[in-house]
Amino acid sequence: MLNRAYNIIPLAKPNVVLINAGTNDATQNFAVGNAYNRMRDMLDYIFTSTPGVSIALSTLLPNTLSPGNVASINHQYRQLVRDQASAGRHIVLAEMHDGFITMADLVDTTHPNDTGFKKMASVWYRAIQSLGSKTWLSPPSNAVSFQDGAGGDTTCPKIYGSGNVDPRGRTQVLKALSLRIIDDGRYRHSAQAQGVVHQGWYVEPDDVWFAQLVNNGVGRSGEKDDWVFSQGEGVYYYRENLGDQGFGEKMHIVSLEGVSCDREGVCWGDVVSFLVFVLLSFFYPREGKEAERREM
């Protein structure tokens, strides 16, 4: 955790830090007796590197794997908060182990379920309120390389490579350390009709899907969905999407020869080439639908 603090604190320069750490150490029986000193080192770094910061340190959730280790770490954290507060630092305890959160709030032996997360959120909220009541909350520093305001126009443009543009992160898979996780309001879908390149009738047991199997020479984000279908005989075909020129010739998908599965609800994964792909079968029966008009 200290190494993560070294990475994110100088970048974010936060005014409030919430810390819930130590459960893995408890369940893995790692340095449990030294939890006080290890957490103190991280608090020292945060306080000294970020003037005006306030911290809420939480005790650990109850769990069934290592209740003794959890109790030991929680005892050390409570004492640590008392010692830090006595030294004049802006810190409060977020108590997660006082009976409010119970074993029934866990989805397994360790992790909270939806109710557990809601309870955790209420504990964090109360801790932040406590910081505010002590008049310890100050505006965050503006000496950062990103804007901490509105996140945009609440649309979601799909631009290849856009994840590398933002200075706050180098990945499009958001995680807890990503500073791009901000509330930009309710999502508003925006799409533009591209016309119809094929339409027709398909009668059970015929089935049709659309998936991008062949990129037709275009770059990423320019691909179009190809026409994948079975005509009731357990053999699968595709026709390459040629854009404004319609679809190419019917091609037999050799690699699925002999595949036996209920075709209803078949979902196609992305592919390595047009003859090697992943087939995921889900079963969603369609009641009372003998014929269906499909458009793309």
| Torsion angles phi and psi, residue 165, rounded to 5 | -80, -40
pLDDT of residue 45: 95
Q: Which residues pair with 93 in a beta bridge?
A: 57
Is 141 within a domain? no
Contact 148, 140 (CB under 8 A): yes
76 plus 166 within the same structural domain? no
10 plus 128 within the same structural domain? yes
Sequence-separated (6 or more) residues with CB below 8 Å from residue 190: 155
Residue-wise pLDDT for 128-177, tens only, equals: 999 999 999 998 888 887 666 555 555 555 566 655 555 544 444 444 45
Is 154 within a domain? yes
63 plus 177 within the same structural domain? no
- Into how many domains does the chain fold? 3
122 plus 205 within the same structural domain? no
Q: Is the peptide bond before 205 cis (omega within 30 degrees of 0)?
A: yes
Positions in the chain short of pLDDT 50: 168-176, 263-296
175 plus 217 within the same structural domain? no
The CATH number given to whatever domain includes residue 20 is: 3.40.50.1110
The answer, as to whether pTM is greater than 0.75, is no
Which domain covers residue 115, as residue numbers?
A: 2-133
Residue at which a domain ends, from 133, 161, 182: 133
Is 139 within a domain? no
Contact 278, 270 (CB under 8 A): yes
124 plus 13 within the same structural domain? yes
